[in-house]
Amino acid sequence: MRLAQAKGISPEEFRRKHTRSAGTVLLFNGTPNHTGKPSCSLYADGLGCSVHPSRPLACRLFPLGRQIQNGTAQYMHEGSEFPCLKECPEVLELPKLTVEEYLVGQETSAFEQAQDAYLEILQNLADIAFELLLDTGLAASGDTQTLASWRKLGTMDAVAQSKQIPAEWLDLLMIPDLQEHANELLDFVQWHQELLNTKIQELSETFSTLDAVREAAILMMALALFLSHSIGADSKGLSEHWIEIAKSHGAEEK
Ligand code: SF4
């Protein structure tokens, strides 16, 4: 939403023109940079990032990564060289900063909080999938199709997963109609959760058979795993983890 607003276009148009992998990754198809690789489609030759104030967290952190394990966030760098030191020697003339000073300068804090809030949405979607499987009688009925579908979803890339999700749900997850909340990141995520909750509630009111419950449990897991691609989580690892938890609560897989 913020990137679309920075470009003066709709989120739908932004997704179409500036992203790949079903909207989960920025598109790099611009003029090749000094390494010969295409630059980001948002990079303006001679000017730099055309959406600089709205640039996403990954760009603010680069060349660092941020990893959350057991509830603790860590900043890291994989490899022994910083690409910007190797490829842009003038970086060496910049003042030396600690990681903490660098992150303050990049104003990462609000973006990190928003990403963590999306991690909670992801977990909430998975929790609903669990409830549908375990608390409705579906697992007790001997169902094995749900976990088989969760496993299959976990092996798919974002594009394949997106094809398992009806367009209205995909748009609700990726381009929610929340333009007025775009400037307050955490506020935006909370409103996004509200929109999802409302639609999930509407869906739950239509259940009349266990087949419908199974379909919803698979959809919730597809949404959770698709969202995991967007926030850089390990989709396959998550699906395997959740399948083991479901099995430990009595669900079966063929
Ligand atoms: S900072 Fe990020 S959004 Fe901006 S041009 Fe570079 S990769 Fe694209």
Query: What is the spatial distance between Cα 143 and Cα 125, in angstroms, rounded to a whole number?
Result: 20
A 10 A CB-CB count for 6 gives 18
* Residues in the ligand 1 pocket, defined by CB under 6 Å: 26, 40, 42-43, 49, 51, 55, 59
A 10 A CB-CB count for 2 gives 19
Query: What is the spatial distance between Cα 58 and Cα 175, in angstroms, rounded to a whole number?
Result: 19
Query: What is the spatial distance between Cα 145 and Cα 156, in angstroms, rounded to a whole number?
Result: 17
**What confidence score (pLDDT) does residue 147 get?**
98
Nearest CA to ligand 1 atom 2: 59
- Ligand 1 midpoint to CA 42 (Å): 6
pLDDT bin (cut points 50, 70, 90) of residue 34 is confident
Query: What is the spatial distance between Cα 111 and Cα 101, in angstroms, rounded to a whole number?
Result: 16
Q: Which atom of ligand 1 is nearest to the CA of 41?
A: 8
Distances (CA, A) of 221 to 11, 15, 50, 124: 24, 23, 35, 10
Query: What is the spatial distance between Cα 114 and Cα 187, in angstroms, rounded to a whole number?
Result: 9
pTM of the model: 0.93
**What confidence score (pLDDT) does residue 85 get?**
72
pLDDT bin (cut points 50, 70, 90) of residue 10 is very high
pLDDT tens figures, 50-100? 999 999 999 999 889 999 888 889 999 888 877 777 777 777 888 889 999
Q: Which atom of ligand 1 is nearest to the CA of 3?
A: 3
A 10 A CB-CB count for 143 gives 21
pLDDT tens figures, 104-114? 999 999 999 99
From 15-19, 95-99, 245-249, the region with the lowest mean pLDDT: 95-99
Pocket test for ligand 1, best of 7, 31, 50, 51 (most atoms within 8 A of CB): 51
Pairwise pLDDT comparison (160 vs 83), residue with the higher score: 160
pLDDT tens figures, 188-207? 999 999 999 999 999 999 99
Nearest CA to ligand 1 atom 4: 49
Averaged pLDDT of the chain: 94
**What confidence score (pLDDT) does residue 238 get?**
96
**What confidence score (pLDDT) does residue 78 get?**
82
- Residues with Cβ < 8 Å from 32, sequence gap 6 or more? 38, 39
